A and B are shown apart, each in its own frame.
Chain A
């Protein structure tokens, strides 16, 4: 498969950033049960790995390490500032994502700073959307900002103005955004689509459906998944058509996209009892039933999407973690990771053994997903050896889990 992450902004997959390196030179885990001193030593080593990553010259590595430190350090303020002033839009966008669901004044102030002062227009738009209620004048400013940018930089600023502007601002922003969606000249930017799926409105669905056939292959299924979040009725025939003509790569793209798509319908606040986007899940479930009669491969893949979307328990995928199909192993591991990220209270003791086995997998993305899943299951002892993994993102993921403890 040509990994979608090869050209997108990191969100979907990191494997293509460094290739699928074989794991070498992995340090052995301690033989005895971890004593307090041993745990403290591993934690110190993990912190060093994270700090080294935070000082990397590679923005994808910096982003992962800085966000891990931001999430785990008892004193996160320094890491917030490092992210805020990092020159890479990739890092700044990660900070917005990390702060978006917090209600504290410091987070809001930082997001506000980025909505006005980030150099990258898409970052400003993402911050504007995460900001929450603002005055009509500020929303009008976003519209003016958007219209001063090249077309590919406009959509999130337009969406923010559409959501929060006075009527005349909403009309102008909506018209420009709908026209942009119709053209289908979408940048290869996964965060753009995930943001549209989170903050979009049903009126965006029809023009997006028009644009999808012209979209570059890397984002076509992601755009179709976004359409599902915006309006399942419009999406269903579009998705059906795409699936009829799709190859294996595109089916895998769709599964990846469905796993990442927000669980709640577009534009809705995520409720605390975590109801899912039922329409989307019903479509995936229907596909599962249909595919199960003809194509076990498609059935198994759709099951991974449903686990990621919390429609099936993670234990459903135990056999797939041991599959001979390496793509299936990767999809299953990533799906379990997504489910755990969405509900950290999930427990899956029967998966710990198969996930541990995947730490030896020769595919870096599979190791990464297994590492993060085990970290969330608090099964950190097997991760100590991965602090010297050949893939830097695995090292940082292991370090984040060990540092968090």
Chain B
């Protein structure tokens, strides 16, 4: 029910397919960053996320902010991406 309500509102106000922005904060170890980017590339059936991800490190380099522009086919694709990011063990914050 929740998922359908969210999808209906997204469908009413966004055209699909379209690129959507996502922002997450992860630990800056290469393993953590790679794990998130690999999971997303697999989810979107993309060979890589080159040109779709901007990485901004924190001042001491402990964390990195990933700003992503991802091609969503439908409202459910947006919801699935938030679900993937929100439950990914390397993601500290999904905004």
Contacts and interface: CB of A to CB of B under 8 A. Distances in A.
Interface of A: 2, 6-7, 9-10, 16, 54-55, 57-60, 81-82, 85-90, 117, 119-120, 122, 150, 152, 187-189, 216-218, 249
15 contacts: A6-B56, A57-B14, A58-B21, A59-B95, A60-B23, A87-B79, A89-B86, A89-B95, A119-B83, A150-B89, A150-B92, A152-B92, A152-B93, A189-B93, A217-B58
Contacts of B6: 85-87
A87 B82 contact: yes
A90 B5 CA distance: 18
B63 interface: yes
Interface in B1-29: 2, 5-6, 9-10, 13-14, 18-23, 25
A218 B10 CA distance: 33
Contact of B19 (A57, A59, A117, A150): A57
Contacts of A59: 21-23, 95
A9 B78 contact: no
A383 B32 CA distance: 44
Interface of B: 2, 5-6, 9-10, 13-14, 18-23, 25, 56, 58-60, 62-63, 65, 78-79, 82-83, 86, 89, 92-95
A2 B59 contact: yes
B9 A85 contact: yes
Contacts of A189: 93
A249 B60 CA distance: 13
A17 B9 CA distance: 25
- For the complex, would chain B's binding face be called helix, strand, loop or mixed by DSSP majority? mixed
A187 B25 contact: yes
Contacts of B79: 87
A286 B83 CA distance: 48
Given A57-B19, A150-B89, A7 B95 contact: no
A7 B63 contact: yes
Contacts of B18: 57
A10 B95 contact: yes
Contacts of A54: 13
B88 to A, nearest CB: 10
A88 B82 contact: yes
Contacts of A81: 9
B35 to A, nearest CB: 14
Nearest to B62: A216
A119 B81 CA distance: 12
A59 B10 CA distance: 12
Contacts of B14: 55, 57
A306 B10 CA distance: 42
Contacts of B82: 87-88, 119
Pairs A-B, 8 closest by C-beta atoms? A217-B59, A57-B20, A85-B6, A55-B13, A58-B21, A87-B82, A90-B95, A85-B9
Contacts of A60: 23, 95
B93 A9 contact: yes
A82 B19 contact: no
Given A9-B93, A216-B60, 11 more contacts: A6-B65, A7-B25, A7-B63, A10-B95, A86-B9, A87-B79, A120-B94, A187-B25, A188-B58, A188-B93, A217-B59
Nearest to A10: B95
A87 B56 CA distance: 23
A187 to B, nearest CB: 5
A152 B95 CA distance: 14
A218 B9 contact: no
A216 B59 contact: yes
Contacts of B21: 57-59
B94 to A, nearest CB: 6
